[in-house]
């Protein structure tokens, strides 16, 4: 990596934006408005630890765009958090929401801590104080800015945020919509936890079903039988691996921070996950071999490589050694700009993060709508649909004189549960977005890759929103 130019994460996003902007018709003033961050809130506050030590915590919230409101974006707990990273992730959220037709502006938050170094009580104090700081500056609310989980956070932290917001807004009927990714008992939606990983698989499946893309990659059509290596076994990586395996793909490699393993005949994802819970490591999993270094997993021979952890794991130092035919970005920013150029020159299909991992925000949108409507999905129509389907089955059996077997009958008669509707909406979203991006790539002369096509798609939608609002004539 000695010759690599070290652009900041946000500058990389800006470079990709500029690369795509030349394929659009918009005025430079509109493009500058879309590209820049509208609001940046940097804060610091003291916390007293259980030991009695008082520390100062640094945190951020960035609202990149207000072309649609509320703003939307996760909150991450990481010692690597800084303003540049949060600005970059907020910008990606704007483009991501636009691509998948979710009516939010992009935002992102971050608290600069290593959550492993704090007790649950201390994490609760930090989360609640951060929420209070957001409330002071009007940076949170169901119609203003709606956070969600990200790296290092989950349902527990979102429940703390909701409780703090509700306590400071008594009587606000829509307060549950101030945050998504909550426990179901607190207004969360079924299917949110696995949404990002499942969305990755839906998007990857649609790419694998595209004749032209698979011909370019030199692979057969379809996800079934594809050999996949996944870097990262957190929430996103685990569910991506699980649903890809259920779709018929073969998981040949898994990498985590403690090391990496492989088996070209396939790894059982749940068995590896259980092994890690029992031993604290994925290493020495029965029937698999350990890589000498965890980074070696990125360079293993496979059809699809899915980086599902942190930024810049594929760079100018290792991009030339990547042997996968398709790289599917489940993480945010796992490729540097230089790595992008190297992989594109090799003919590798790179499925960009800015839409592929949009499953989380898509299902967060469904959760937000549920909170505003105060009705669980499926409650109004489930029994009606079941009764209608039962009537149809009875009529078919009566007309044909044949009895439908029980398993088929149960499947046909089944009325949609909340999770069925959520997953159906997510699948529709990912398939539509994939096809739209591929169409732009195929039909716009000069566009070099799917990432540029995705940016073109996002720019056009955000710019159209501004012009239709009358902000720019």
Q: Model confidence over 354-369: pLDDT tens digits? A: 899 999 999 999 999 9
Quickly state the pLDDT bin for 381 (edges 50, 70, 90): confident
**What is the reported pTM?**
0.90
Segment (H or E) for 356 = helix 353-356
User: Is CATH 3.40.50.720 what the domain over 189-378+425-473 is classified as, yes or no?
Assistant: yes
In the chain, what are the domain boundaries? 40-186, 189-378+425-473
* Most confident by average pLDDT, 91-100, 415-424, 462-471: 91-100
* Residue whose entry in the numeric block shows the structure tokens 């426990």: 183
Contact 213, 303 (CB under 8 A): no
Q: Which of the following is catalytic: 68, 108, 112, 382?
A: 108
Task: Yes or no: say if 370 and 377 are a contact pair by the CB < 8 Å rule.
Answer: yes
Residue in this structure with the two tokens 């985590």, named with its chain if needed? 256
Instruction: Count Cβ atoms within 10 A of the Cβ of residue 144 and give its class: 0-12 exposed, 13-18 middle, 19 or more buried.
Output: middle
Percent composition of the chain: helix, strand, coil (DSSP 3-state, to 5): 50, 15, 35
Residue 1's pLDDT band (cuts 50, 70, 90): very low
Is 60 exceeded by the pLDDT of residue 4?
no
Q: H-type helices in 100-142, by residue range?
A: 120-136
Fold match between 40-186 and 189-378+425-473?
yes
Residue-level pLDDT at 5: 54
**Residue 289 annotated in active site:** no
Least confident among 6-15, 239-248, 257-266: 6-15
Considering the segment(s) 40-186 as one domain, its CATH architecture is: 3-Layer(aba) Sandwich (3.40)
């Amino acid at each position: 990596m000695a010759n690599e130019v070290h652009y900041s994460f946000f500058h990389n996003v800006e470079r990709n934006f500029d690369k795509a902007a030349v394929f659009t018709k918009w005025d430079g003033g509109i493009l500058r408005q879309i590209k820049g961050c509208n609001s940046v809130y940097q804060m610091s506050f003291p916390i007293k630890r259980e030991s009695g030590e008082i520390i100062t915590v640094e945190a951020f919230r960035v609202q990149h765009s207000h072309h649609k409101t509320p703003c939307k974006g996760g909150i991450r707990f990481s010692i690597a958090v800084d303003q540049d990273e949060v600005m970059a992730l907020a910008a990606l959220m704007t483009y991501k929401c636009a691509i998948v037709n979710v009516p939010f502006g992009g935002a992102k938050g971050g608290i600069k801590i290593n959550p492993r170094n704090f007790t649950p009580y201390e994490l609760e104090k930090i989360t609640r104080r951060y929420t209070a700081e957001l409330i002071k500056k009007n940076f949170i609310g169901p119609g203003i800015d709606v956070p969600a989980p990200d790296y290092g956070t989950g349902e527990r932290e979102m429940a703390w945020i909701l409780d703090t917001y509700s306590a400071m807004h008594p009587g606000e009927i829509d307060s549950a919509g101030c945050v998504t990714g909550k426990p179901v008992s607190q207004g969360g939606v079924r299917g949110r936890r696995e949404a990002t990983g499942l969305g990755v698989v839906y998007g990857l499946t649609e790419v694998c079903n595209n004749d032209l893309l698979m011909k370019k990659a030199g692979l057969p059509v379809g996800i079934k039988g594809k050999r996949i290596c996944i870097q990262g076994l957190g929430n996103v990586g685990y569910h991506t691996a699980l649903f890809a395996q259920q779709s018929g793909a073969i998981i040949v490699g898994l990498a985590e921070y403690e090391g990496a393993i492989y088996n070209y005949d396939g790894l059982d994802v749940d068995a590896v996950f259980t092994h890690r819970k029992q031993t604290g490591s994925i290493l020495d999993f029965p029937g698999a071999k350990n890589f000498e270094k965890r980074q070696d997993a990125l360079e293993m021979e496979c059809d699809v490589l899915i980086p599902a952890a942190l930024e810049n794991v594929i760079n100018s130092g290792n991009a030339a050694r990547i042997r996968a035919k398709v790289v599917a970005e489940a993480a945010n920013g796992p490729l540097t700009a230089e790595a992008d150029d190297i992989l594109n020159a090799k003919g590798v299909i790179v499925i960009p993060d800015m839409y592929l991992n949009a499953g989380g925000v898509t299902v967060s949108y469904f959760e937000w709508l549920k909170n505003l409507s105060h009705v669980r999905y499926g409650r109004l129509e489930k029994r009606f649909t079941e009764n209608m389907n039962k009537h149809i089955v009875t009529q078919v059996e009566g007309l044909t004189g044949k009895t439908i077997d029980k398993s088929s009958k149960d499947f046909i008669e089944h009325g949609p549960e909340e999770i069925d509707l959520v997953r159906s909406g997510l699948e529709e979203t990912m398939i539509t977005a994939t096809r739209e991006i591929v169409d732009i790539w195929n039909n716009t002369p000069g566009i070099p890759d799917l990432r540029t096509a995705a940016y073109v798609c996002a720019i056009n939608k955000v710019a159209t929103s501004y012009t239709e609002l009358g902000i720019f004539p």
